[in-house]
Chains A and B, each alone.
Chain A
């Protein structure tokens, strides 16, 4: 009896440790987006992006507050929040998906692995399935993840007024940069 209790206890501790090590996270990831037109270039950055990655299943979730995006010009930031993404109605952008085949990746010498990421991107209350490639490398105990992809305001039902239609690109380039550390609660 005593033996089995000890065994169960050890199993619990071991599984707990394993569980703890398979999840990685950040609360200070960076997402930036860039719109390039002959009229003007617009860039915004969010440095408080959160992410949780399950290295066993490859599942990944990312979340960023719309109000967390900082523009060079206050007026652009105001238009972005109030008129385009309506951040009072839809305060965050999220992504839920997977890094395909994450558990079979091998990590050595900080060399980046090219990976495929797919899942659901939600912006402005609209969900859209996306697929992109990115890189993941392991530096000491952390995973460094990067990806770049294009989104179109049209796909997320974001209406750009005619007056500024030439100022905002049809394809916005989104870059994401995450340094994920072991998740311990």
Chain B
């Protein structure tokens, strides 16, 4: 094996490695929110209050963060398959929580009216309806320390 061959092999290896890196970056998977560390544990009312006080500040603090939200399970709005919207209610406002139907256990209907904890990615405060919005939600056990 002469020098020329070695160079050739080295170049082929380098090119295929960079292609592999580029390909895996291009196809990197979405974050699974239910497995991510929690940034904030708050109640619907606490968050609504933050947004009423200073929306810009609350945006900077909460948007794109993983939140565990405490509230009363108000209703389940079946929207487009394969997604559902679950409404979580406080005294002074509510939250629109988007679930994949795979993550929405049917037993959730029995929890209507009870206090629950929903983990999800906070995407923003909708000032049109005055609602918090979370996506990629899961219900976690009704224990704040979970």
Q: What are the residues of chain B within 8 A of A77 when measuring CB–CB?
A: 30
Interface segment, A60-68, A109-117, A121-129, A137-145? A60-68
Q: Summarize B's interface: helix, strand, loop or mixed.
A: mixed
Q: How far is the CA of A65 from the CA of B127 in the complex (A)?
A: 11
Once the chains bind, are A73 and B128 in contact (CB under 8 Å)?
no
| Cβ < 8 Å to B, chain A residues 23-49 | 25, 27-28, 30, 47-48
Once the chains bind, are A48 and B28 in contact (CB under 8 Å)?
no
Q: What are the residues of chain B within 8 A of A63 when measuring CB–CB?
A: 126-128
Q: Summarize A's interface: helix, strand, loop or mixed.
A: strand
Residue pairs across A and B with Cβ atoms less than 8 A apart, 22 shown, are: A25-B129, A27-B77, A27-B96, A27-B126, A28-B77, A47-B79, A47-B98, A48-B98, A50-B128, A51-B128, A52-B128, A63-B127, A63-B128, A66-B124, A67-B63, A67-B121, A73-B26, A73-B27, A74-B30, A75-B28, A81-B64, A87-B64
**Looking at chain B, what size class is its interface with the partner chain?**
20 to 34
- The 8 A CB mask of B20-39 against A (1 = contact, 0 = none) is 00000111111100000000
Q: How far is the CB of B68 from chain A (nearest CB, A)?
A: 18
Q: How far is the CB of A117 from chain B (nearest CB, A)?
A: 17
Q: How far is the CA of A73 from the CA of B25 in the complex (A)?
A: 10
Asked whether A92 is an interface residue with its Cβ less than 8 Å from the other chain, the reply is yes
